[in-house]
Structure formats: structure tokens, C-alpha cells
Amino acid sequence: MSISIQSIRKTFGTYKALDDISLEVPNGSLTALLGPSGSGKTTLLRIVAGLEFADDGPGKILFHGEDVSGIPAGKRGVGFVFQHYALFRHMTVAENIAFGLSVLPRGQRPAKTGIRDRVLELLRLVKLEGLEKRRPHELSGGQRQRVALARALAIRPKVLLLDEPFGALDAQVRKDLRRWLRVFHDEIGLTTLFVTHDQEEALELADQVVVMRNARVEQVGKPQAVYDQPRSPFVYEFLGNVNKLHEGRDARYVRPHEIEVLFAAECDPATDRLARVQHLFSAGPVATLSVRLDDGQFLDVELSRKQLDELALDVDDEIAVRF
Amino acid sequence: MSKRRVIPGFGLSLGFTITYLSLIILIPLAALFLKAGGAGWDEWAGLLTSPRVLAAAKLTFGASAAAAGVSVVFGLLVTWVLVRYEFPGRRLLDAMVDLPFALPTAVAGITLCAIYAPNGWVGEWLAKWGIQAAYNWTGVFIALTFIGFPFVVRTLQPVMEDLGREIEEAAATLGANRWQVFSRVVLPLLVPALITGFTLAFARAIGEYGSVIFISGNLPMKTEILPLLIVAQLEQFRYEGAAVIAAAMLIISFLLLFLINLLQRRLDWQNR
């Protein structure tokens, strides 16, 4: 089910949290709302969920063409996953997952066995078979997050909304869960909108990245498109490492991996510049050089270990850089 | 014995703790039981089975439990308002909750009596409906509610503040209506704190003297509380009798509190 966000504004007192946001989330896509803290991304997600309401005006939220702006969260049919899981700690895993079904009015509520089957099915889906009797505090962070996901999915939501879903997890679990979520999303095909401040996460996971800044949408596009053709210096700097070079009054942006390193003797003054190696970080598959250009500006350069070995570089060596 | 600890001062602080507890609690209690032990078995049995003492015990424990129960309900409501809503005068209201702690109990007692007596502001009005709110069980109950209520609010408040909005929002997105959010998510998480609040209010009410004796009227067999009987014994220089009633009260209170504590442990889901 597609989500259409139309001219949404939101102010808290005098603070503008969202300033005329319009956005299309295509059916079945995995879309990332990416931005620094305070950019309004979480507020937007909460308005889509119905946990917050936009300011009065022409602003609208449509699910598959249907206006849901006035419908409260509980009737909107959204699955919402909170950053800190928000599991009910007095309930078992099974009770947590079953919650959305057990609060249905008597007429619509599945029978006990129906609820049980659905819980077991969801536990299988999120790969937590056998943990139904545990309590949340007996689970790891990654497991809790998947319980939260299963709980959100139990009500068969029309769209899935995730608020910084991996924010509270440590690096390795984060990476694993991220890959898993991508595969998982492709299996269930549910339109998903998630908030993150981690550009790597957004670029790796999403079909569509929405870069937000200061209550506005800065750029929307496929991960590669926003990475390769940033529309503003902000997007350039926010998406991955970038060197900012001052050339007169202008600034020029160059990504560290786009820079070629040559021997100083090969320097072609038309395209290349001379530089001196200041630092060398070579732990890991990619080596990073910090070099000082002839005009005193610093530049980060990434190159493969193989290239580094071929060049046999050391600190204080003179080199040429081409970009 | 010479195990090294990360936090220094264990010996000193434990030593101080035991000395302090001994001086403040254990020695006086031991003296009480010693005194009570000086009374013979007959005196114990005679006193504790006398209809007057039994009636007072029934009133004290019954009204205390009822008052603590009511304090829990209204304490929950007041705490909810204080924690959940931002309104002018909230801090003032918050501070007012502590007044029953600070007020000399006799002042509270006299004030309550003046208000709830049949010729008082509220009592007059209640009397029109045929309700007598002083010099009977209801009067005792009102006084005990007054002094017990802050305990509930103050134990509940930090827990409720910690609860956070997220779990309620989670329940709401899953389709729970307001009542379901409260009854199935919020209330179960508050139960341990509510029990603690009940226990404190109950314990305080059992021992309460000053605020009750004015509004109760102290009619033998009807509105006498146990602490009053202790004072009555003392006034007749029957120290052992006073000690016997006090000791019995202590034992019953301790058993009740212990039972509530056990119940709470079983209910405390946060207990890792």
C-alpha cells in the first residue's frame, strides 16, 4: 500500500518541526528517512503513524489514495516499531505478540487457538522459535527488536513504520539485523518507512532514500543517485565521507575513493596536484591516507591495500593526486 | 576475610549501620518485648482477649486496611494527574501532597474533627444525607485516609514518571483503546509500586494516634483504636499492660507486612 504525504506542517510552540513536507512512498518499497537529529524525520514518521497530528491546513496523509489524516493510530492499521522496542515487560514474548489480536472487539477477535497459531507463525518468521515463554528482559537487544517487529506485524498492518530500528544495538548485531531486515522485507513485501540517522544504514537498506534537514526534505532518490548526484553540499557531506576543498570562493567536494594516487614524478600539472603524506591508516581492506596539498589543505584519500603496496608509500613521501 | 573490595569502607559502614539500627530500632523493641514478657501469661491472655481490646484491634486493622485501599485508588488518580498533565498550579498541588507528612497529627485531627463533625462545614452537609462522618468508624477511616495518602503518591510518582509514553503508544498503535491501554499495560506495571504504597499507608495508619483520637470520639467498644488503649494503660501506670498490647500489635503488623511483601515479590515482574 503506497503512502502519500502531502504538504504536512508541524510546529511545537514556535518551533517548526516540519515545514511543508510532501513525499511519495511507493507500494512495497523500503524507504529511509535519513537526517541528523532535529531534522524532523521522527516527527514525520509519527504523523504517518497517527501518534502525532499535523497542523491544521491543507496537509494530508493518504494510504493507497485514502485520506487517513484524521484516523487515530489504533485504527490506521500501521505497524510501528520503536527505537527502544517498547515491549510490555510484564508479558511473555507470546503475550506481547498476541497483544494486538487480543484487544480486538469480541466479534473480530480470533479464537485462542487462532491467536496461538498466528503467534507461532510470526515467531518462525522472525526466527525466534521456542522463545514464546520468555520475558523481554531475558532476551538480547536484537531478539527484543524482532519481537517488537513480530508484535507490529501480528495485526497485519497496511504499512510498517520503524523508528531508528537498530539505534540501540551494537555494531555487529546492527549489521546482521539490517541485512536480515532487507531479505525479510523482500519476502513480505510490506510498504516500509524507516527513520535513521546512519547514512550507511540508509544507503545499504533502502530502495528510496529521503534526506531531511531542518524540517524540510533535501533530496529524494535511489541510494546510488543521492550518493552520486547530491543536490546540495549538505547531502554531499551527510552521505559518507567527503573532502571539502576551497578553491577561491567556491567549495569543491571530492569523495576519498574518487582520488587517484600517483608517483610525484608522474604529476601532470594540468590535472594533478602535488601532495605530501601526513598519516597512513592501513588496518583493514581499505587504507586511508591523509595528505597535505601544496596549498596547505588536507585531503583524505582511500585506496586499496594492493595499490598502497604497489606505491610503497610512507609518511612524508611526496605524491601526486588526481581528482 | 581479607577479600579486597572495589568500594572501600565496607567494615565501617556496616558497623555504623548495625550500631545505628540497634540504637534506634532493635534496643527499644527488645526493651518493649522484655517489658511485655514481665507480664504473666494470664495477663497476656486476659488483656488480649478482652472485648475492648478485640474491638479496638478490629477497628484499627480494619479501618487502616480500608483507608490504605482508598488511598491507593485516589493516590493513583492524583499521581496520574501530577505526572501526566502540565497545568498551572501543578507544582503547588505537588507540594500540597506532602502536607499530611508535615502537619502535626494533632492539628490534622482537630481540623478534620471540626470539618466533619455534624456541625462542621462538610459534616453539616453530609448530615443532610444522613451520613455521620465523625465519632464513628467513618471518622477514623477519614483520618487514616488523610495521613496515608501521600505515601501512595510518593511511591507511585517516580515509577509512573519512568514508565514513558512509548509503551502506551505501542499499545495504541496495536489497536488498544484507552481502557485497554490502562488496564492491560499501565496498571500491571504499576501494581508493585501500588502494593508498596498500600503497605506504607497501612503501616502508618495502624500506628496513627494524633489525628484519629479527636475525630473518633473514643467510645469504648466502638471507636477506640489500639494506640489509644496503650495510652490508656499508661495513664493508669499499667506499663506492662501497655507493653503487651504494643507487642501484640507489632507482631500482627509485622506478619501482615511480611505477607504483603511476599505477595509483592511474586508480582514484581521487573525482579530479575
| Domain, as residue range, for B185 | 41-267
DSSP string, B174-212: TT--HHHIIIIIIHHHHHHHHHHHHHHHHHHHHH--HHH
* β-bridge mates for residue A195, sequence order: A33, A163
- Give the pLDDT mean for A224-243: 88
**How confident is residue A270, by pLDDT bands cut at 50, 70 and 90?**
confident
- Whether B173 contacts chain A with CB within 8 A: yes
Quote the CA–CA distance of A209 and A193 in Å, as a whole number.
Answer: 10
Give the rounded percent of residues in chain A with a pLDDT score beyond 90. 53
Question: Given an 8 Å threshold on Cβ–Cβ distance, is B185 in contact with A135?
Answer: no
**How confident is residue B236, by pLDDT bands cut at 50, 70 and 90?**
very high
Amino acid occupying residue B78 = V
Q: What is the pLDDT of residue B128?
A: 87
Q: What is the pLDDT of residue B3?
A: 65
List chain A residues with CB under 8 Å of B177: 74, 103
Interval A35-74: pLDDT, tens: 998 899 999 999 999 999 999 888 999 999 899 998 999 8
Q: What is the pTM of this model?
A: 0.80
Question: Given an 8 Å threshold on Cβ–Cβ distance, is B173 in contact with A135?
Answer: no
Q: What is the pLDDT of residue A118?
A: 94
- Give the pLDDT mean for B105-134: 88
- Contacts for A65 with CB less than 8 Å, ≥ 6 apart: A2, A4
Quote the CA–CA distance of B261 and B199 in Å, as a whole number.
Answer: 8
- Give the pLDDT mean for A258-269: 85
Tell me if residue A287 falls in helix, strand or coil: strand
Cβ atoms of B162 and B88 within 8 Å: the answer is no
| B residues 137-166 closer than 8 Å to A (CB) | 164, 166
Assess if residue B2 is contained within a domain: no
- Give the pLDDT mean for B257-262: 87
Nearest chain A CA: its distance from B191 CA (Å): 11
Amino acid occupying residue B35 = K
Average pLDDT along chain B: 89
Residue B195 has pLDDT above 60, yes or no: yes
- Give the pLDDT mean for A140-144: 92
A124 burial class (0-12, 13-18, 19+ CB within 10 angstroms)?
Answer: exposed
Cβ atoms of A46 and A1 within 8 Å: the answer is no
DSSP A259: -
Question: Which domain CATH number covers B189?
Answer: 1.10.3720.10
Nearest chain A CA: its distance from B204 CA (Å): 30
Quote the CA–CA distance of A224 and A247 in Å, as a whole number.
Answer: 27
Q: Which residue has the higher pLDDT, B176 or B40?
A: B176
CB atoms within 10 A of CB B76: 20
- Whether B127 contacts chain A with CB within 8 A: no
**How confident is residue B260, by pLDDT bands cut at 50, 70 and 90?**
confident
**How confident is residue B272, by pLDDT bands cut at 50, 70 and 90?**
very low
Give the rounded percent of residues in chain B with a pLDDT score beyond 70. 97
Nearest chain B CA: its distance from A74 CA (Å): 4
Q: List the single best residue of A48, A81, A88 to mutate versus B (max B Cβ within 10 A).
A: A88
- Whether B176 contacts chain A with CB within 8 A: yes
- Whether A168 contacts chain B with CB within 8 A: no
Interval B158-169: pLDDT, tens: 999 998 889 999
The domain limits of chain A are: 3-237, 241-322
End-to-end CA distance of chain A: 44
Interval B10-23: pLDDT, tens: 888 999 999 999 99
Question: Given an 8 Å threshold on Cβ–Cβ distance, is A74 in contact with B189?
Answer: no
| Nearest partner of A8 among A46, A38, A47, judged by Cα | A47
- Give the pLDDT mean for B212-241: 90
Residue B181 has pLDDT above 80, yes or no: yes
Question: Given an 8 Å threshold on Cβ–Cβ distance, is B170 in contact with A86?
Answer: yes
- Whether B177 contacts chain A with CB within 8 A: yes
Q: What is the pLDDT of residue B257?
A: 86
Comparing A73-77, A88-92, B4-8, the range with the smallest average pLDDT is: B4-8
- List the grid coordinates of A132: 514464546
Quote the CA–CA distance of A190 and B103 in Å, as a whole number.
Answer: 61
Of B164, B177, B185, the CB nearest to A88: B185
Assess if residue B36 is contained within a domain: no
Nearest chain B CA: its distance from A155 CA (Å): 7
Give the rounded percent of residues in chain A with a pLDDT score beyond 70. 100
Question: Given an 8 Å threshold on Cβ–Cβ distance, is B174 in contact with A89?
Answer: no
Q: What is the pLDDT of residue B2?
A: 56
Interval B89-110: pLDDT, tens: 999 999 999 888 888 988 999 9
**Strand order in A191-196's β-sheet?**
A78-81, A159-163, A191-196, A30-34, A208-213, A216-221
Q: What is the pLDDT of residue A309?
A: 83
Question: Given an 8 Å threshold on Cβ–Cβ distance, is B169 in contact with A90?
Answer: no
**How confident is residue B269, by pLDDT bands cut at 50, 70 and 90?**
low
Residue B1 has pLDDT above 60, yes or no: no
Residue B55 has pLDDT above 80, yes or no: yes
Q: What is the pLDDT of residue B268?
A: 67
**How confident is residue B119, by pLDDT bands cut at 50, 70 and 90?**
confident
Please state which CATH number belongs to domain A3-237. 3.40.50.300
Question: Given an 8 Å threshold on Cβ–Cβ distance, is A88 in contact with B174?
Answer: no
Cβ atoms of A220 and A208 within 8 Å: the answer is yes
Nearest chain B CA: its distance from A88 CA (Å): 7
Question: Given an 8 Å threshold on Cβ–Cβ distance, is B272 in contact with A137?
Answer: yes
* Burial per residue of A50-74, b for 16 or more beta-carbon CB atoms within 10 angstroms, e otherwise: bbbebeeeebbbbbeeeebeeeebb
Helix (H) or strand (E) holding A272: strand A272-281
CATH for the A241-322 domain, from 2.40.50.100, 2.30.30.40, 1.20.1050.140, 3.40.640.10: 2.40.50.100
Q: What is the pLDDT of residue A100?
A: 95
Report the greatest alpha carbon distance in chain B.
Answer: 74
Interval A17-30: pLDDT, tens: 999 999 999 999 99
Helix (H) or strand (E) holding A174: helix A171-188
- Contacts for A141 with CB less than 8 Å, ≥ 6 apart: A168, A169, A170, A173
Alpha helices in chain B (DSSP H): 10-21, 27-38, 41-49, 51-84, 90-96, 99-102, 105-116, 121-128, 137-163, 166-173, 178-180, 187-207, 210-216, 226-235, 239-267
| Nearest partner of B112 among B104, A54, B46, A223, judged by Cα | B104
Name the domain count of chain B: 1
Assess if residue B25 is contained within a domain: no
Residue B64 has pLDDT above 60, yes or no: yes
**How confident is residue B271, by pLDDT bands cut at 50, 70 and 90?**
very low
Assess if residue B4 is contained within a domain: no
Quote the CA–CA distance of B176 and B166 in Å, as a whole number.
Answer: 14
